[in-house]
Amino acid sequence: MSQINAAAPRHDWTLDQVEALFDLPFMELVFQAASVHRAGFDPSEVQLSQLLSVKTGGCAENCGYCSQSAHFKTGLKAEKLMDAEVVIAKARQARDGGAQRFCMGAAWRELKDRDLPKLAAMIGGVKALGLETCATLGMLTPDQAKQLKDAGLDYYNHNLDTGPEYYGQVVTTRTYQERLDTLAHVRDAGMSTCCGGIVGMGETRRDRAGLLHQLATLPSHPDSLPINGLVPVSGTPLGDQVLADGTTAIDAIEFVRTIAVARIVCPRSMVRLSAGRDEMSRELQALCFLAGANSIFVGGKLLTTPLPGQDEDSKLFHDLDLRPMGAKAPTPEAVAAE
């Protein structure tokens, strides 16, 4: 395959073409992804986001990986929607800890209109702190998307989870088209989209290619593209399957391939290392950054699963000569002093 043209984002990828990227020799694939990344971003910068579960547990969906589903016994207790003042205080702590974007997640199948006033207060308060705002609240109607936009919401997360062929093995309570419809409502309201998926759920490489093909052929590429590694939770069907096998959810090199292909087919997206990072070695994370990942979640926790602590991330950034997006690059004199 010829060298990718990093200057020309495209929406006409075929599934076979995306799968062919996965099949490239590993070194060639990472080189091409790194070249695409450098054409659009500073490779030394990584965006820091923090995610808070503002309504935990009791979700009516049966997503086979999720600890928050009411269908599974995972020991997680359902909670009510948090008060706006508490969420804003958490956002202030996140900002003071270095986060640039604050994401609010609620375990709902769909947003209810009765919850919009409280959510609007959260969003407005977080926005006033100078943070980018993001929310993931399940399915939306066009009017709900507009109201969230009016409240100051910058990004809306709604993942496709996996490719369309494997989707039925993951969830049956919401269709693939319903996910695509919510994304369309978000775009039509003028918000940025955050959309990606989960790998390591028993899917094939072609299924992973199918997920990235769907994202790359949307009317506009996701502004943020999270790649989650399955965190196996006891009590969930997909988690129990991995735990019973006694293996890792996905091979590390295959994970890097997924990051690299995501960078190539969606060259202007923020490709985010999301769930599963707590289990990744420093070397694996370094390879992911080399292959085009330029966003991570921080804060020690991602909804209900663990993340590395601030000290670990600070040391990783120091050792890899990375810096938070927007931070000033160190001067040669400062580098020499170290």
Distance CA 238, CA 302 (A): 18
For residue 178, pLDDT beyond 90: yes
In this predicted structure, what is the pLDDT of residue 332? 44
Residue 280, both tokens: 């990744």
What pLDDT band is residue 161 in, cutting at 50, 70 and 90? very high
As a whole number, mean pLDDT of residues 116-126 equals 95
Mean pLDDT for the chain overall: 88
Angle of CA points 206, 209, 210, to nearest 5° = 85
Give residue 329's pLDDT: 60
Tell me the mean pLDDT in the region 117-128.
Answer: 95
Q: Is 195 a catalytic residue?
A: no
Catalytic residue among 101, 103, 174, 179: 103
Confirm whether 266 is a catalytic residue: no
Look up 134 and say whether it is catalytic: yes
Catalytic member of 66, 195, 266, 288? 66
* Token pair of 59 as six digits: 């979700």
The per-residue pLDDT for 131 is 93
Q: Report the DSSP pairing between strands 45-55 and 323-324.
A: parallel
How far apart are alpha carbons 91 and 73 in whole angstroms? 30
Residue tagged active-site, from 59, 195, 266, 288: 59
- At position 254, the amino acid (one-letter code) is E
Condensed to tens digits (0 to 9), the pLDDT of residues 53-90 reads 898 877 888 887 887 777 877 777 778 889 999 999 99
Identify the active-site residue in 63, 195, 266, 288. Answer: 63
Average of per-residue pLDDT across 269-284:
89
Q: Which of 134, 195, 266, 288 is catalytic?
A: 134
Residue-wise pLDDT for 297-316, tens only, equals 887 655 555 567 778 888 99
Using DSSP's 3-state secondary structure scheme, residue 11 falls into coil
* 59 in catalytic set: yes
For residue 140, give both structure tokens.
């939306």
Q: Of 121, 125, 137, 127, which is closest to residue 100 (Cα–Cα)? A: 127
239, pLDDT greater than 90: no
- Please determine, for residue 40, whether its predicted confidence score (pLDDT) is greater than 50: yes
Distances (CA, A) of 195 to 153, 155, 179, 184, 298: 15, 10, 10, 12, 18
Residue 331 predicted with pLDDT over 50: no
Selecting among 174, 263, 272, 277, the annotated active-site residue is 272
Identified catalytic residue from 101, 174, 179, 194: 194
